[in-house]
Amino acid sequence: MTRKESGNVPDQMQRQHALASFLNGNSVPDSGTSGMRLEVRPHYGYLNLRGDPDDERFLQAVQQKLGHSLPGVPNTFTSADHTVFWLGPDEWLLSTALGREKEIAGQLAKNLAGHCYSLVDVTGGQLLIRLSGEHVRGVLAKGCTLDLHPRIFKVGQCAQTTLAKTSMLIALIDDTPTFDIVLRRSFAEYAARWLQHSTRI
Amino acid sequence: MLLINCPWCGPRDESEFGYGGEADIARPANPDALTDEEWADYLFMRKNPRGLHREQWVHEHGCRRWFVLERDTVTYEITDAT
Ligand SMILES: [Zn+2]
């Protein structure tokens, strides 16, 4: 077999987020009509970091670069320059402005040289949707088994769970309420359609 | 539907978990030294009790950690999560 030279591959592939075409052809829920606003926020880069939470040197090496410590309390997140979500006892998701993740990954790798760790750029695999408004909890309750009552799920908490059978990371940002949900790219349109459908009265 | 207490995440719906079968089954240190019956016993034979059962679960859609809990196979009551 010989490799065929292809003359028509564009030099620069157009990078689109997973809901670009969905947003073109659909009206997304907003607070006026459905009591819930849906906002696609594709402008984040993501790094998945794993390491030993009991290793002080590991924690310090990370903190030195990020400017704040990794959340040690399960199912919480911390925000400063970047946002860091607790995913597991030795696993975190860092989100930052799209494009910055490469520089952060490079410097983290430098700081962590000699440690046992894993650092993976997962930017291409995630999409964040922001849901806000008075009806968000009611809409989510249709497809999420987590108890999102304000007495139970508070600002600063996050959780990996499911939304209508697809995996999501959900975080409560403020008491509006505003929830950020991070979805797998390949399931983003499915989830968006489900959310759109579920806001219908 | 079971409500399962993940040691890290607290009570979560059963749909977030995967089941890993009977707990405390150790792989024989030297498989070559076993008879076929002993090896088959390790691979295939399980207790399947009526009553308390120690079993492995994984929090698949959550923190992805494995843990052991004790469940009553008659009442489905989960009595212990370690
Ligand atoms: Zn868990």
Report if residue A5 sits inside a domain.
no
List the structure tokens of A6: 């292809």
| Strands B78-81 and B66-72, bridge-based pairing | antiparallel
Same domain, A189 and A140: yes
State whether A146 and B12 contact (CB < 8 Å).
yes
Give the pLDDT score at B81.
58
Report if residue A77 sits inside a domain.
yes
**What is the pLDDT confidence band of residue A10, given thresholds at 50, 70 and 90?**
low
Report if residue A2 sits inside a domain.
no
**Measured between beta carbons, which residues in chain B are less than 8 angstroms from residue A162?**
15-16, 61
Enclosing domain of residue B40: 3-26+36-79
Report if residue A11 sits inside a domain.
no
**Measured between beta carbons, which residues in chain A are less than 8 angstroms from residue B63?**
74, 87-89, 91, 160
CATH at A28: 3.30.1360.120
Report if residue B31 sits inside a domain.
no
CATH at B42: 3.30.2270.10
Give the total number of structural domains in chain A: 2
State whether B61 and A167 contact (CB < 8 Å).
yes
**What is the pLDDT confidence band of residue A6, given thresholds at 50, 70 and 90?**
low
**What pTM was estimated for this model as a whole?**
0.90
Amino acid at B58: V
Same domain, A137 and A178: yes
Enclosing domain of residue A179: 17-42+125-198
Give the total number of structural domains in chain B: 1
State whether A160 and B65 contact (CB < 8 Å).
no
**Measured between beta carbons, which residues in chain B are less than 8 angstroms from residue A152?**
none
Which ipTM value was assigned to this complex?
0.88
